[in-house]
């Protein structure tokens, strides 16, 4: 309890690590392979397909509207390369990659540029397709096996307990882009990205909370613009 007449002590102001129970809950690391069609990158928020990379299995988990430019803030991020994929595969390469990895198991669990290049080299050559850009990064979930169980919707949160910045964690967000947008300016890079699967009802509740928070921040910024001292 703070002493009478004194403001409560703020651990972040002293550079201390603030305990985050979500880091203990989401302790299981998973590798994500992200793919975006290069032609779509001209859009403000292109569709990015996220796969759970768990050799010899690759599973399509979700598609998100996300600027790939925010991904380098995530700890473990790797820009893999851009490849020309047949039209039949540019939207879902999970079954094809799983079959190739089963036939020739990789030496380790990581997604490396060389491994991805070797897999792409085994695909049929065609003049009908799209250039697809690939990235990989790590996430931490509350499940040791599945990064996201079937029937559940993903929510996202970043954390950086040892950050030199005062801001050491975000909110749980239903929108991955919103979770990571502007974070580099408030927390830097090497962020730990957490993911949990929730029911549709919980997802909608969090979405409502996020919308209210965004509206509140917009109102504060507007008042500051008008010259009010907040």
Q: Is the dihedral of CA 159, 164, 165, 166 positive or negative?
A: positive
Structure tokens at 97: 């990659």
What pLDDT, in 10s, does the model give residues 113-157? 999 999 999 998 888 899 999 999 999 999 999 898 889 999 999
Per-residue model confidence (pLDDT) at position 76: 93
pLDDT at 150: 87
- Name the pLDDT band for 19 (thresholds 50, 70, 90): low
| Distance separating alpha carbons of residues 39 and 44, to the nearest angstrom | 12
* Mean pLDDT, rounded, for 51-65: 94
- Adjacent-strand bridge partners of 207: none
Distance CA 98, CA 112 (A): 16
Helix H or strand E segment including 34: strand 28-37
Q: Which residue has 């549709």 as its token pair?
A: 200
**Residues 140, 141, 145, 149: is their CA dihedral positive or negative?**
negative
Q: How confident is the model at residue 219 (pLDDT cuts 50, 70, 90)?
A: very low
Q: Which residue has better confidence, 211 or 198?
A: 198
- What's the pLDDT tens digit per position in 170-180? 989 999 998 99
């Amino acid at each position: 309890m703070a002493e009478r007449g004194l403001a409560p002590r703020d651990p972040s102001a002293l550079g201390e690590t603030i305990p985050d129970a979500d880091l203990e809950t989401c302790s299981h690391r998973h590798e994500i392979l992200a793919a975006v069609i290069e032609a779509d990158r001209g859009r403000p928020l292109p569709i990015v397909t996220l796969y759970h990379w768990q050799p010899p299995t690759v599973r399509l988990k979700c598609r998100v509207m996300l600027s790939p430019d925010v991904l380098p803030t995530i700890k473990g991020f790797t820009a893999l390369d851009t490849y020309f994929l047949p039209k039949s595969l540019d939207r879902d390469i999970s079954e094809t990659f799983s079959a190739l990895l089963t036939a020739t198991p990789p030496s380790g669990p990581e997604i490396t540029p060389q491994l991805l290049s070797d897999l792409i080299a085994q695909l049929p050559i065609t003049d009908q397709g799209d250039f697809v850009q690939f990235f990989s990064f790590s996430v931490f979930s509350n499940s040791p096996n599945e990064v996201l169980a079937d029937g559940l919707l993903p929510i996202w949160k970043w954390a950086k307990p040892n950050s030199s910045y005062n801001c050491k964690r975000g909110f749980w967000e239903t929108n991955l882009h919103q979770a990571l947008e502007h974070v580099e300016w408030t927390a830097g890079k090497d962020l730990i990205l957490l993911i949990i699967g929730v029911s549709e009802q919980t997802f909608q509740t969090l979405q409502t909370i996020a919308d209210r928070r965004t509206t509140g921040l917009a109102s504060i910024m507007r008042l500051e613009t008008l010259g009010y001292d907040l």
